[in-house]
Amino acid sequence: MKTCSVCGESKPITNFNKKGTGPNGTEYRDTKCRQCQRKERTESNLCVTCGRQNAPKRKQCSYCLDISNKSTKKRARLDRQAAFEHYGTKCAYCGEEEEIFLTIDHIENNGAEHRKGINGKNRGHNLPTWLRRNDYPTGFQTLCYNCNCAKNHHPPEIIKNAIKTRKKRLLKQALTQSPAPQQKRAGDHPQSLTNSQ
């Protein structure tokens, strides 16, 4: 038995959500009491989280909304990093390693259907979280945004050949455009001669 912080009554511990911050890893509020409390606060135009006065048509006050957004962004960033650690920290085609240029790709080009299936809309920002919750299944790889875009129009072999050709061309340009070594002018003396004088 556990006492609910909303109604003050003792209730079975199975009525409380797990993964909470209270004793035994459960929440302090009974699940049904919490739902009723949220409904009452919404009807009274109060923040559903803390009970403060709220702006019209908003469920949370600006303070609680800010905290919620920060924790959501942090969780999303951690999920994204964990996905790269599992599927690779560099692009499978070109080798790009800068994380801001990387993305998770569906190998079978079924990303649109998959995203619609996991969250009902054609959005991809929940993909790393979905991957974590499903123990990182096969069928995904790390690509940079350029290679991922090119993959929609060309087979992987053509992209990889184009990358090799581009690297060779860039290397050749770098070698041919390297500055010529500076020539000594007639009046210049080596440092050792000037020191001895």
Domain annotation covers residue 190? no
Domain annotation covers residue 32? no
Domain annotation covers residue 59? no
Domain annotation covers residue 141? yes
What residue numbers bound the domain in which 169 lies? Answer: 69-173
Q: What Rg do the C-alpha atoms of the chain give, in angstroms?
A: 29
Domain annotation covers residue 134? yes
* 14 neighbors 37 (Cβ within 8 angstroms): no
When divided into structural domains, the chain yields a total of: 1
Model confidence over 26-48: pLDDT tens digits?
655 556 666 666 777 777 778 87
The pLDDT of residue 122 is 45
Domain annotation covers residue 197? no
The pLDDT of residue 83 is 94
The low-confidence residues of the chain, meaning pLDDT below 70, are 1-8, 11-37, 55-56, 119-125, 178-197
Q: What pTM, to 2 d.p., does this model score? A: 0.58
The pLDDT of residue 137 is 93
Domain annotation covers residue 19? no
CATH code of the domain in which 102 resides: 1.10.30
The pLDDT of residue 85 is 95
Domain annotation covers residue 41? no
